Chain A
Amino acid sequence: MTATIVASATRLTDGIDPELGLLLPEGFCRTFRVMPYAEVDGQLLVAAADVADPIVERVVDELITRPFVLVRHTVNEINGAIDAVYPPLEENLESPEARRARTQMAQMLTRSGLVTEDQLRTATLEYSRTGDPLGDILVSHGAISEDVLVAALSELHQLQRVGLTDFEPDTDVARALPEALAQELQVVPVARTGTEFLLAVARPLGREDLARVESALGKPVRQLLANRTDLDQLVQRVHAHHYAEIATRLVMETRPEESAHVVVSPTQKAFFVCALIVTVLVGVVWPTKTMIGLVALCSLAYLSVSIYKFRLTLRALGTHLEYDVTDEELADLDERILPIYTILVPLYKEAGIVPRLVRDMNALDYPKTRLDVKLLCEEDDVETIAKIQSMNLPPHFHLVVVPDSLPKTKPKACNYGLQLSKGKYCVIFDAEDRPDPDQLKKAFVTFTRVDRNVACVQAKLNHFNQDQNMLTAWFANEYSMHFELILPAMGASESPIPLGGTSNHFVTSTLRELGAWDPFNVTEDADLGIRLHREGYRTAMIDSTTLEEANSVVPNWIRQRSRWNKGYYQTWLVHMRNPFQLLSQVGLKGFLSFNLTMGSAFVLLLNPIFWALTTLYVFTQAGFIEQLFPGIVFYVASAMLFVGNFIFIYLNVAGSLQRGEFGITGTALLSPLYWGLMSLAAWKGFIQLFTNPFYWEKTEHGLDEEH
């Protein structure tokens, strides 16, 4: 595309073709001071204030796909034209001072050779889209380090700097400022003189914020610019105890009835003991009838769970029940309105995976200046902490070290990270997760479209290593059915959704209001989904997928699955402490849905018993087994054996077909073998519920070497 600088006979003042005026986005026009306005002899005339700036010519060339010429106009003429095409909104306008500061920063960095023209162009383009500080953009791109930016800002604002890398704070001084304010403004008092506090700040404070700090401290402050990463670490160190207490005890103390720190409540204990005694007594008096009753009860449970899942699947099959955002809608999204998005990534002994994690987080299509990635490490995981520190990550990555205390669980780490979160929305990803790059934007757009009571948006999960072996293919079959069919149908019917382990996006304030995750529940995600529903909030599904690593080794898989099952039992016990209250909160439909969903974990316990009875009967024709299945019980059990089992196999096939994963449909036909493993894990989890209820069976990641 040729771009010749001319003084055209046709000027802006002759009028703007409204269609041409909209060819370039508003932010772009204001940043680069350009405005397309007419077409003459097949060439687009673009008014420009600084036609000599090579960056202007290049960026216009990148956006406009037809021949154009830059025509010199005055700044006032162009600003007037932009205001005419895009009526100005105050929050989107750059003040003259800010523009001057940005220009100074750009000049300072380019003249000193710290950034190249290309880096500046890319950063300025991003600035035109987001309006975020140019320096922050350059740091987030890795063009300059945070220290260089701090030095430049220090020069621009004539503020002193302070190094905090090895700083040992005086805790009395540091805690003189309330944690909430320190967190919000990213400031920490580092010293006190007779007349003032020395305050380490990430960025120079505005007048109002300064007044709030001085009011809280009761003394004037002198601002010292600090590296954001170092400051963030300092804030954490100063308030670590406070964060740890809240992370562990908030749900337990503010909502004890919803906390799993007590596995079985006293009332439940009494109920179960009484039920056991009655069953034993009745069994002694009428042994056959009692056994028939128990078999009938189990068959009914089987049938109910199966019918419920089948109904959900049929509803979702071949349709799009989840929210979707098209590529066009994403392209039209005004990035200036994007909020800060917190990403919580719990890590434990996963040093090797950190570089890949950083790569995948950076691959997200979201302005990095608005990302708040919390890498949550346990204090005793020295290797992972060292790895993260050694990578000198840009400041949108935050190393969060969770103090060593019990329970050492993922939800506790997340609760800890949540207190440090700056985002309006937050999401959890596991270390090995690979979300679709547009997932954050899709979640944000969905939040703006759904009802106000939607507090969570769940993305779909699946696996990137489904082809590794039979186990990973089965796992992918299962996830396809769960996330492509069952959860979308549950979301569409506004049933309580047991959230998936990752890729659940929350409104941060609502999550905090609910007390966040229960650190004593080993499926805190499922539990949180139910708690959200009980409080009147809803969960929506979005059509975006996060790929995870499927467990490829049986013992590791069983450990993970036993934890999930234990968590389901925990969650059921917690929410059924007061069934009537649950019923009144979620309604009959929600109540049934909750019990049938959690019931699937209990059905897994029954499987081996029924399989054993069936096998025994086939080989021995034992009369006592025949007696256990009279009339209708036999019909229900037969239907489940011959029809129900196949339907479940076929639902696995259906999930994979729905997802477009045709390569693993054959494996789905062998899923009864997988159910055997599931039952084994279910029993392990069930036993552990009594022997070690809060133990977190850690899943080992990175077993798939090829990926």
Chain B
Amino acid sequence: MSAPVIEPTPAPSEPVIKRTRERLAGTVQAVGHRPHDIPRRRWESLAIFAFFAVAYIWFGYWLVVEMHVVSFETLDRLNRSLMVWHNDPAKLSAIGFDYPPLTTLLISPLTLVPALARSLAIVPVASALFAAGTMVILNSMLRRAQVLTALRYAVLLAVGANPLVLLYGAGGSRQFIWISLVMVAVGALFAWYVTADIRFIMISGLAFSVATLAGYSSLIWFAIGALMIGSVLSRLGARGEEIEGTTVGFAAPTAYVIALWTAFNLILLSNPFAWITDSSDAASSIGVEHFTFLELAQYTGQLVLYGAPLAIVVLPALIFTGFRSNGFALWLAVMLAASILAPAASVALGLTDAPMLMRNALLILLFAVIGAIWVARSSGTQNAVVSAILVALLIGSIPWTFHAMKTYRYQNLESSFAAAISTRESQEGARTPTGGTVGTASEQAMADFIRANISGKSTILTDNAQTYAVMLLTGDPALFFDRVDRSDGPWQEAAKDPAGYDVRYLLLSTDTSEDLLSQLYSDAVDGTDTLLPEVFSTPRYTLVGVTPDYQRPDSSSPAAPTPALDDTTSGGSVQ
């Protein structure tokens, strides 16, 4: 046995000061000590973005303007955006609390010019830009995976031509807003894993924070990302301080936005968690169809099988790759599994009013593509083979998914989309499998009449939560005395005494189930109120005149007044 070696202890006056080199010696993510990243190709990214944006806008124009396959949820958000700029007074609160706020705020620049806002041509733009951004992110991942150029572009085209991607990328839907941000975040984690560059952690953290305010379910993948970062760093031998600091850097933006949004909900709605319990997705979940566990499993299987069959191949491949000392593959498998299970989980937790919709397969598909890209990267010399198989599977799934869209039980506009492509005929007035009517002819006719005949601010009293499509198509929300102008209290007073508030018209929905004003003036909706003569009507709306001396005979208040900023939506994406 040898004598113990005693390290000399520095005297108090001679402390050990760590110089830069020593300080960074044990740091996994030190700047300047990591593998080189792929060179930036701004022009390539720009070209891909431009190509897909133009393609989706062009296709979307055909789909929305010519085939009339349009989502009312998009019109609602566009109207709120228009009110942010052009209401009287312009109010940020027009974005409301029932959608995640950024789904409206991020498209608000599209409504800066009212003439553009009232044109349905901007509808596809509201999603096309985000879908194109997603393609740019996928391209960066493919480049980092060293996929051959030709195969890279083939993958992008095959993903871009997938019917679900086409519908939601070109139809103005909000899905692609938060999905594109989740893709940015996951793409940054992908880049971080490859380069150990901490900048990507910050980009990912910021992207998740924005994604959270554009789609609350982003939090699922954020949580997985946080766990992944800790686990990966720990495996690489990082010190506890580095793991903690990195995780704080990653989580801080999302924690901040959640705290901020919760505080807003508390201050303005007196319920800090209203953003979870009262959102448009969750608000009317009570009373929706009940599913057994077996049914949930069955519909989850159908969702994957018809919407994202690629996942059936990729998930086992990721798990297999992951068990060969490839930690990131396992984490991608967890993310993919989460995307598969999330729709059923949201039904089980009562957080959705539209269960098991086919649109849920969109995220599964994209996570499956990311997983396949990682498998290609991990397969070394077989990279090209795996990439080619990916292209083949993606191309093969196009007709498969397209066919399923026609008959899939839980859907929005999938069947109308498929019919439009198959028949090349306008879907105006067509019925969806869920009972909705497609098209905006009613709204357009009413808006055209108002634009041609009515002027003056706050002249038309209306429940904007139901008549938003008409308001948007007029391009002039200042014409309307709506529930955003002075909040619900004054609006309800005006509803009881419209003449007292200098209102000259009432715009009423013919469906009185949710329109507060229509409930109050149901006779006028029927055309039987002689004091409120019908000025113009369409199948879905009636415009009645209000004389200066009008006195409402019955002064009872409208049913169930809603909180000041809680604008209820149309309650569904199709009317």
A660–B29 contact, CB under 8 A? yes
Contact partners of A706 in chain B: CB under 8 A: 15
Contact partners of B202 in chain A: CB under 8 A: 317, 650, 653-654, 657
Known A544-B20, A635-B92, A650-B252; contact A662-B260, beta-carbon cutoff 8 A = no
B245–A436 contact, CB under 8 A? no
CA distance A434 to B20 in the complex (A): 11
- CB of A271 within 8 A of chain B? no
Contact partners of B201 in chain A: CB under 8 A: 657
Main secondary structure on B side of the interface with A: helix
Q: Kindly name the residue among A434, A543, A646, A706 whose own CB sees the greatest number of chain B CB atoms within 10 A.
A: A646
A657–B245 contact, CB under 8 A? yes
Contact partners of B327 in chain A: CB under 8 A: none
Interfacial residues of chain B within 236-252, with CB under 8 A of chain A in the complex = 239, 241-246, 248-249, 252
Q: Kindly name the residue among B92, B199, B245, B246 whose own CB sees the greatest number of chain A CB atoms within 10 A.
A: B245
Q: How far is the CB of B509 from chain A (nearest CB, A)?
A: 30
One of A320, A359, A660 near B24 (C-beta < 8 A):
A660
Q: Kindly name the residue among B14, B89, B241, B249 whose own CB sees the greatest number of chain A CB atoms within 10 A.
A: B249
One of B27, B92, B199, B206 near A660 (C-beta < 8 A):
B27
Contact partners of A656 in chain B: CB under 8 A: 245
One of A464, A646, A657, A659 near B249 (C-beta < 8 A):
A657
A662–B32 contact, CB under 8 A? no
B20–A658 contact, CB under 8 A? no
One of A318, A635, A650 near B31 (C-beta < 8 A):
A318
B245–A666 contact, CB under 8 A? yes
CA distance A319 to B200 in the complex (A): 11
Q: How far is the CB of A541 from chain B (nearest CB, A)?
A: 13
Q: Kindly name the residue among B20, B27, B206, B249 whose own CB sees the greatest number of chain A CB atoms within 10 A.
A: B20
- CB of A437 within 8 A of chain B? yes
- CB of B256 within 8 A of chain A? yes
Contact partners of B29 in chain A: CB under 8 A: 657, 660
- CB of B353 within 8 A of chain A? no
- CB of A663 within 8 A of chain B? yes
One of A638, A646, A665 near B92 (C-beta < 8 A):
A638
Contact partners of A657 in chain B: CB under 8 A: 29, 198, 201-202, 245-246, 249
Q: How far is the CB of B390 from chain A (nearest CB, A)?
A: 29
- CB of A669 within 8 A of chain B? yes
**Least CB separation from A545: chain B residue:** B20
**Least CB separation from B264: chain A residue:** A642
Q: How far is the CB of A326 from chain B (nearest CB, A)?
A: 10
Q: How large is the interface on A (under 10, 10 to 19, 20 to 34, 35 or more residues)?
A: 35 or more
- CB of B98 within 8 A of chain A? no
CA distance A464 to B22 in the complex (A): 13
**Least CB separation from B206: chain A residue:** A650
Interfacial residues of chain B within 212-256, with CB under 8 A of chain A in the complex = 239, 241-246, 248-249, 252-253, 256
CA distance A703 to B27 in the complex (A): 29
**Least CB separation from A547: chain B residue:** B17
One of A319, A544, A631 near B89 (C-beta < 8 A):
A631
- CB of A449 within 8 A of chain B? no
Contact partners of B283 in chain A: CB under 8 A: none
A665–B249 contact, CB under 8 A? yes
Q: How far is the CB of A689 from chain B (nearest CB, A)?
A: 36
- CB of B269 within 8 A of chain A? no
CA distance A646 to B14 in the complex (A): 40
Q: How far is the CB of A365 from chain B (nearest CB, A)?
A: 11
Contact partners of A317 in chain B: CB under 8 A: 199, 202
Contact partners of B198 in chain A: CB under 8 A: 318, 657-658
CA distance A434 to B14 in the complex (A): 13
CA distance A661 to B202 in the complex (A): 15
Known A650-B252, A663-B245; contact A320-B32, beta-carbon cutoff 8 A = yes
Known A657-B198, A657-B202; contact A665-B19, beta-carbon cutoff 8 A = no
Known A324-B32, A437-B19; contact A662-B92, beta-carbon cutoff 8 A = no
- CB of A707 within 8 A of chain B? yes
A318–B197 contact, CB under 8 A? yes
- CB of A610 within 8 A of chain B? no
Interface residues of A (CB under 8 A from B): 317-320, 324, 359, 434, 436-437, 464, 543-545, 547, 630-631, 634-635, 638, 642, 646, 649-650, 653-654, 656-666, 669, 706-707
A-B contact pairs, 7 of them (CB 8 A): A545-B20, A638-B92, A659-B31, A666-B245, A706-B15, A707-B15, A707-B17
The 6 closest A-B pairs by CB, nearest first: A662-B245, A318-B199, A665-B245, A662-B242, A317-B199, A660-B27
